[in-house]
A = this chain, B = another copy of it.
């Protein structure tokens, strides 16, 4: 890109900047120039921050092994916002040396959402793993595991829990005497998920990157702390992280499984997608005439967010759309029509891939217990 304007709404919101400073997260742009063929969400500062990413990047550049760790909580449906993590895994999977670990956080779904392990398994398979594979992630090339079944993670969680006190946990997560013990212990499982690729049974000590939303940072900080406390026993290298902004909802602030009209699910049908996008909040003017005269505001528009985060990966094309909007060259109805078409185009071939992925994933994971 020739022009050095900041077309990506790249000014971080006030609260992000404060969080970064308070918790020592570095801006991602400082590593960006060294990343070969970065993803659009990296170029656009949607991936906005990192901790120690250079440690992983150096391995990556030399074609050496590094670990990528992430997880999914099987509750509700997979939406476009979740796709962002999978896109990153797919990007990493192209690198020689990437060892990908993918955790199904069924114990979290049990503890935090009250699902049975059987329900959590069904959701993990139908809503998440099948979609991941349909999106292009090669699950066979990853270590995919369910927390409820994994020996290594639960053992490590208990070992870790010896060096953390209740007052520390309270400072990070807060709890009362009426909290149940599973909610108190769960963070140890989460930390064990993050550190377990470094156990002797897997990679041994290895630079690890955890791509997460900023809301996951408390777990990351605790994992990095704990890595230090068990340095002697396991030689853990503090895990690196990258932080991405969360895809805003179509109407609500956040895209969330629990707000279906605000989220686009990968399993939505055409009609549903049309309705949801037509109802999305935009940066348009009250009348078409006004819009043509004064232009729209893409910087507050949830349809433009869809382009920015997902639907238009080519920067030049995105900038054109942005300019057209700002100069009144398009009204919101037309623009929404374009978003619908882009999304349905994508989902056209996708649905078949999903159906065949679901079959494969079922036969791999259904009867695993």
Contact = CB atoms under 8 A, between A and B. Distances in A.
Interface of A: 107, 110-111, 116-117, 148-149, 151, 154-155, 158-159, 161-167, 169-170, 175-185, 188-189, 233
A181 B160 CA distance: 9
Contact of A178 (B107, B151, B166, B178): B166
Nearest first, the 10 closest Cβ-Cβ pairs linking A and B are A161-B181, A167-B177, A162-B182, A161-B182, A154-B154, A166-B177, A185-B185, A164-B181, A148-B155, A165-B178
22 contacts: A107-B158, A110-B158, A111-B158, A117-B159, A148-B155, A148-B158, A149-B155, A151-B151, A154-B158, A159-B182, A161-B180, A162-B182, A164-B181, A165-B177, A165-B179, A166-B175, A166-B176, A166-B177, A166-B178, A167-B177, A181-B184, A181-B185
B181 A165 contact: yes
Contacts of A183: 162
- Secondary structure of the A side of the interface? helix
Given A161-B185, A165-B177, A166-B175, 17 more contacts: A107-B158, A110-B158, A110-B162, A111-B158, A111-B162, A149-B151, A149-B155, A151-B151, A154-B158, A158-B182, A162-B181, A162-B182, A162-B183, A164-B181, A166-B181, A167-B177, A181-B184
Contacts of A149: 151, 155
A181 B166 CA distance: 6
Contacts of A166: 175-181, 184
